[in-house]
Amino acid sequence: MHDLLDDWAQCNGLRETSARLKLFFGLGAIAICISSLEPAAPLFVAASMSLIILILAKIPPRIYSRLLLFPLSFALISSLVVALMHGSGDMLYALDLFGRVLGIREDGAALALLLIARTFGGMCSLFFIALTTPMIEIFALLSSLRIPKSVIELSMMIYRYIFVLLDQAAMIHNAQVMRLGNRSIRSSLASFSMLASVLFLRSWEQGERLVIAMDARCYDGRLDLMEERRGARAKEIVAAAAYLAMALAISIASSRQGII
């Protein structure tokens, strides 16, 4: 996944667009999604962001659908729980489970729909940033915004070594599967405990190797980042501002209609 996101971020159709504009555009859309009181604006952001990613950024639909699968499945399960446990009004669906009635009411269904819409819109906006802007540009941009150096450097190391440890875990798991380490529940638990312990030792070793490598390169406590500045064109700024204004107008109009 690390190689996948970085590869597409380096060669997508919006690669030459200003990183500052893309970050402002994506974060603005996320803010509108999470602040909307009705699902209309988040659904509009989700649909339009998906079209931007697929058409303008030229990300293959197969890749994009795989990325959306996990957060959407989690959102659907969470929304179902919210719909069953929350709300008032007329009963839309009732289920008798061991003498206890579980039902979905109007307010619960509306809240569940809003939760799905917010998650969908926010994730599409987040994937817009991830699939069109390399992480090194995001870190350089944060550095130019006067974010503390220690926070940025720590984030860079965490981002890098998350995927290093995932690769190590995948290699160990594949070796265990080839040796029938998951043939039963008991052996699966033993294999998992062994994987966790070995992964902890590997992470410790990777940290020591990192310190030695950085000392060998005369590390003085600072990682320099070079930001490749690209000025945003006027039509790009106008298009981004018009889009965010439209999404905000939809959010406000739908909220007022819901209140009325």
Per-domain boundaries in the chain: 1-133+230-260, 147-225
Better-predicted residue by pLDDT, 247 or 168: 247
pLDDT at residue 221, rounded to an integer: 64
At 79, which amino acid appears?
S
Examine the pLDDT at 253 and tell me if it is beyond 70.
yes
**Most confidently modeled range among 1-15, 190-204, 226-240:** 190-204
Examine the pLDDT at 72 and tell me if it is beyond 80.
yes
At 212, which amino acid appears?
I
pLDDT at residue 87, rounded to an integer: 63
**Most confidently modeled range among 68-72, 208-212, 243-247:** 243-247
CA–CA separation, 44 vs 250, rounded Å? 8
User: How confident is the model over 135-152, as a mean pLDDT?
Assistant: 79
**Most confidently modeled range among 27-41, 153-167, 181-195:** 27-41
User: How confident is the model over 63-77, as a mean pLDDT?
Assistant: 84
Examine the pLDDT at 71 and tell me if it is beyond 50.
yes
pLDDT at residue 228, rounded to an integer: 63
User: How confident is the model over 118-140, as a mean pLDDT?
Assistant: 87
Q: pLDDT digits over 47-60, tens only?
A: 999 999 999 988 88
Q: Kindly report the number of other CB atoms within 10 A of residue 247's CB atom.
A: 25
Angle at 241 (CA atoms; ends 260, 40), nearest 5 degrees:
30
Query: pTM of the entire structure?
Result: 0.76
pLDDT at residue 162, rounded to an integer: 76
Query: Under a CB-based contact definition with an 8 Å cutoff, are residues 144 and 22 in contact?
Result: no
- Output the DSSP codes for 59-110: --HHHHHHHHHHHHHHHHHHHHHHHHHS--SSEEEEEEETTEEEEEEHHHHH
CA–CA separation, 224 vs 226, rounded Å? 7
Q: Would you place residue 260 in the very low, low, confident or very high pLDDT band (cuts 50, 70, 90)? A: very low
How far is the CA of 55 from the CAs of 1, 7, 152, 206, 222, in angstroms? 22, 17, 32, 40, 40
Examine the pLDDT at 10 and tell me if it is beyond 90.
no
Q: Would you place residue 181 in the very low, low, confident or very high pLDDT band (cuts 50, 70, 90)? A: confident
Cβ neighbours of residue 3 closer than 8 Å, sequence gap 6 or more: none
Query: Under a CB-based contact definition with an 8 Å cutoff, are residues 64 and 50 in contact?
Result: yes
Q: Which of 113, 60, 109, 68 is nearest to 87 (CA)?
A: 109
